[in-house]
């Protein structure tokens, strides 16, 4: 594991919602992250397809890790995710790549693909850079 992945792993261990949804980190490097979700019964909507919320959560975690790869701290500010198709079994993958890194924001593109590499969803997330000490104070309150 590289240094960026070690820091990502440390941060991810505190992410109960990601673990609750069975999302896993595959790799993280500077400005790029890959995450996966093995579709389980808990991941499916009433139609038997992977739930849109699970896909969104996968995308949010992958893009957030790509943003965090510069060592700063971020929260999701805005996002747009376009659902194109779906799948009922197997694995879905999120590949996130930083498109722009500014002083206070970071724009990250994401593609969600299925087992045959078909595009399931695509989008962009904007992250706002935060002061970790101030965020830690809010947690204590």
> Strand 91-101 relative to strand 73-83: parallel, antiparallel, unpaired?
unpaired
Distance CA 81, CA 121 (A): 7
pLDDT digit string, tens, across residues 87-102: 999 999 999 999 999 9
pLDDT digit string, tens, across residues 36-69: 999 999 999 999 999 999 999 999 999 999 999 9
- The token pair at 60 is 């949010």
Nearest to 19 by CA among 47, 66, 65, 54: 54
Give CA separation, 134 vs 76, 137, 141, in Å: 16, 5, 11
Distance CA 22, CA 16 (A): 10
């Amino acid at each position: 594991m590289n240094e960026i992945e070690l820091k990502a792993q440390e941060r991810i261990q505190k992410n109960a919602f990601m673990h609750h949804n069975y999302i896993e980190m595959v790799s993280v490097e500077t400005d790029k992250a890959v995450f996966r979700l093995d579709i389980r019964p808990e991941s499916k909507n009433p139609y038997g397809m992977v739930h849109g919320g699970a896909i969104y959560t996968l995308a949010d975690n992958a893009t957030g890790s790509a943003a965090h790869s510069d060592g700063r701290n971020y929260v999701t500010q805005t996002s747009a995710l376009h659902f194109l198709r779906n799948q009922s079994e197997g694995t879905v993958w999120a590949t996130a790549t930083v498109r722009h890194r500014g002083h206070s924001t970071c724009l990250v593109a994401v593609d969600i693909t299925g087992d045959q590499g078909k595009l399931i969803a695509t989008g962009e997330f904007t992250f706002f850079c935060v002061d970790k000490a101030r965020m830690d104070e809010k947690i204590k309150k």
